[in-house]
Chains A and B, each alone.
Chain A
């Protein structure tokens, strides 16, 4: 007996919309089982993980703070994935962007005026784009696999950050702690309330602009055509190499912007580690949000909840906050499984027919 996936003739649009919802439900069920295995009350665990963070204003703010980088990065990644460029190095672009955004307040603390923050954001965006363009250029010029190169550059960027924070960029007044100097007020994002800064408004603006671009503009059309059928894209006069560079630059730029805003609002300094894996979690956000900016906004909040929920169960139940990573991984897995079943159906083939596998599947 052999199991085959057969492409469905008509894949249901309803199911395509429902599939992330089903994935979330399956994740909840698996989460409950995990809690039960750990010897905790599953219902109470799920409550602490998914519901309690929504019940007080502090954690709702935190939810938005953590969703902001996820949404920004995932929007850029959506452009990459729609155009068939598999950038999984957003974490590196986030870190390198943050470095480029922070050199101004760290190396030139005396340049401290109203221009500081806008310049930081511009440098951060450009830096992230530059880091993203490296795998882009390698792909278009040397035909390298962008999955490998973009991923490997994550480690380069994160070690570079580590080196700078422990070495040249260490705070001279910081008692040798591996951290940079604290940013001045003109180098930090204005706060709205509590920990909530204007970063989240920037993310919403990016969502709106990208949603318009992808659904209404010729560029959005180009991205979709190239993603589905590069030959037809060339016939339409679009350049595949140009679009590869464009999408890596957009994704890198948004990740860099997210990185800069993260260090200039939540952290206010550089630390050896500035991201709890936002760049990787954003991949889940992008797919859970159907590569659609509006969907990504919602998915970003869901994944952000998993971070806070992890902390919440660690604090209240003594379960490791690594549970958050497990839940995130399960969620991505279920999203991909559900998507596969929306597009394909399972067929069980008896081995009696195995002599004719090729023709049977070809015809």
Chain B
């Protein structure tokens, strides 16, 4: 092992945690030094979250010990962790939606003091660290990206010695991420340690000093990420050669336009939603078009309009050359379109229903024999469920389980596979691999590319630039409800996309309402 700077701040030895039959952490040893940005890598389900929850006191270890600055400690609860100087930024935010930014932060501080003084401090710290916040905003109105800032700023206000960050950049633009990296590097130079959990290996290489890699609850490797390649890190994570997406270069827009948006407009559906303005986009047969953008810039609204959950004027949306703006989602499915929404649970699938029932959800009007004379054929649904399961390698602990019992990656393979299995002519996917492990993500991306090659038009809405550059033939960027022209991937760079994300995509004066 290479030499590492600084003295040990947190030292875990033999940490073990068992949930029922599953050994989530199997005697994990980990040392984080002062002033070190320490990456924790691993696939979904590798045990990263379990491990950091033990550091943060929200889970109790079954065995093993933790030393803090050389002293053995037992971290019984998050308040104790905070007292020691451990702060955490969660992947799933723990914010009260009905409260304002400052109220949320006050709740987490042991002595919040005067609210207006606290507001001023939040403004100062957040701007100082390049994460500006308006303390008076109500959390419910804020997009995910801003909510994360609240978490980060809340953490910073407690002047922690160790910050644990769970996938912090997943909702940020590259520029915002870069600013966060500056923040992190500054914190590190001030002696604060950062435990950085991420799937994004390039990021880890860029900012982390040291990496610990978990697989199946065990530490499989420690390394200096700057000396590794993204590929070698990925191999350590998944334990085998990574299946890289195979993309032929021949994909061009040779086919016909299959999905066409013409001056599409849609008012905001909720007081704090985004309105879509004059969106033009063609998606041709045989290509993958990706829409990049920061969370909360109208991606969800655009998806709802294309899927038909929200209707627009008839001529604003054409499917295979026919006006389709007024059609409902099932009429669009009958015209051979398929849709995969961002939320797997609760939108793409019903959590408490078996997978075979969830098959019915999107395929009951597509003429596949699932519904006959108003009655559901459970047998046919089960057949299709088995087919999707085997074609897309959906792993489950029992036959036909409830959707909620699948892991994120497996459920995502199911909801994408459910649509790919139909060989749709137009496929629209919002965040195809959000929070999905590398293996599943590669499988899903490969499926999307193969569908396009078979002559379908594929539209992917994603916040993951690595993904976009991996699979897209053309890239457009959405910003405050406006869409830039889709440009061939060869002519796009991350910088260009980043500038478009930051407002360059807006061709029209932004409307005052709804813009976040």
Contact = CB atoms under 8 A, between A and B. Distances in A.
Given A224-B353, A232-B350, A218 B78 contact: no
A234 B309 contact: yes
A221 B307 contact: no
Contacts of A218: 360, 364, 371, 374-376
Nearest to A220: B376
A363 B362 contact: no
Contact of A235 (B90, B348, B374): B348
B108 to A, nearest CB: 8
B94 A225 contact: no
B361 A225 contact: yes
Interface string A191-225: 00000000000000000000000001111110011
B346 interface: yes
A110 interface: no
Given A358-B107, A363-B58, A231 B94 contact: no
B365 interface: yes
B447 interface: no
Interface residues of B, number: 43
A284 B76 CA distance: 44
A356 interface: yes
A359 B343 CA distance: 23
B349 interface: yes
Contact of B375 (A216, A228, A236, A363): A216
Given A216-B375, A216-B376, A221-B376, A235 B329 contact: yes
A180 to B, nearest CB: 41
B311 interface: no
Looking at A219, A221, A235, which has the most chain B CB atoms within 10 Å of its CB?
Answer: A235
Interface in B57-115: 57-59, 76-80, 90, 92, 94, 107-108, 110
Contacts of A229: 346-347, 350-351
A360 B58 contact: yes
Contacts of B365: 237
Interface string B339-362: 101010011111111000100111
Contact of B56 (A216, A237, A359): A359
B53 interface: yes
Contacts of B328: 237
Contact of B362 (A216, A217, A236): A236
B423 interface: no
B330 interface: yes
Nearest to B358: A232
Contacts of A173: none
A146 B42 CA distance: 48
B350 A225 contact: yes
A352 B74 CA distance: 14
Contacts of B343: 231
Looking at A228, A229, A360, which has the most chain B CB atoms within 10 Å of its CB?
Answer: A229
Contacts of B341: 235
A362 interface: yes
Nearest to B58: A363
Looking at A218, A219, A228, which has the most chain B CB atoms within 10 Å of its CB?
Answer: A218
Interface of A is mostly: helix
A353 interface: yes
Interface in A78-123: none
A339 B219 CA distance: 42
A358 B351 CA distance: 24
Contacts of A356: 57-58, 77-80
Interface of B is mostly: loop
Contacts of B350: 224-225, 228-229, 232
Interface string B351-387: 1110001001110110000010011100000000000
A234 B348 CA distance: 10
Interface string A228-244: 11011011110000000
A218 B376 CA distance: 6
Contacts of B78: 355-356, 359-360, 363
A359 B155 CA distance: 13
Contacts of B360: 218, 221, 236
B374 A219 contact: yes
Contacts of A355: 77-79, 110
B305 to A, nearest CB: 13
Given A224-B353, A353-B76, A237 B329 contact: yes
Contact of B58 (A219, A231, A232, A359): A359
B330 A237 contact: yes
A358 B106 CA distance: 13
Contacts of A228: 350-353
B361 A236 contact: yes
Contacts of B353: 224-225, 228
Contacts of A220: 376
A9 B343 CA distance: 21
A343 to B, nearest CB: 11
Interface string A324-363: 0000000000000000000000000000110110111011
B16 to A, nearest CB: 19
B20 to A, nearest CB: 8
B77 A235 contact: no
A353 B12 CA distance: 22
Nearest to B364: A218
B84 to A, nearest CB: 13
Nearest to B352: A228
A358 B94 contact: yes
Contacts of B375: 216-218
Looking at A225, A237, A353, A360, which has the most chain B CB atoms within 10 Å of its CB?
Answer: A237
A232 B349 contact: yes
Contacts of B374: 217-219
A352 B307 CA distance: 50
A361 to B, nearest CB: 9
A268 to B, nearest CB: 38
A363 B364 CA distance: 37
Interface string B301-345: 000000101000000000000000000111001000001010100
A363 B53 contact: yes
Nearest to A232: B350
A36 B114 CA distance: 60
A231 B304 CA distance: 11
B53 to A, nearest CB: 6
Contacts of B348: 232, 235
A354 to B, nearest CB: 8
Interface of A: 216-221, 224-225, 228-229, 231-232, 234-237, 352-353, 355-356, 358-360, 362-363
Given A225-B350, A353-B79, 18 more contacts: A218-B364, A218-B374, A220-B376, A228-B351, A229-B350, A232-B347, A234-B309, A235-B339, A235-B347, A236-B361, A236-B364, A353-B76, A353-B77, A355-B78, A356-B78, A359-B94, A360-B78, A363-B94
22 contacts: A216-B376, A217-B376, A218-B364, A218-B375, A221-B364, A221-B376, A234-B329, A235-B348, A236-B329, A236-B360, A237-B333, A237-B365, A353-B76, A356-B80, A358-B94, A359-B78, A359-B94, A360-B58, A362-B90, A362-B92, A363-B56, A363-B58
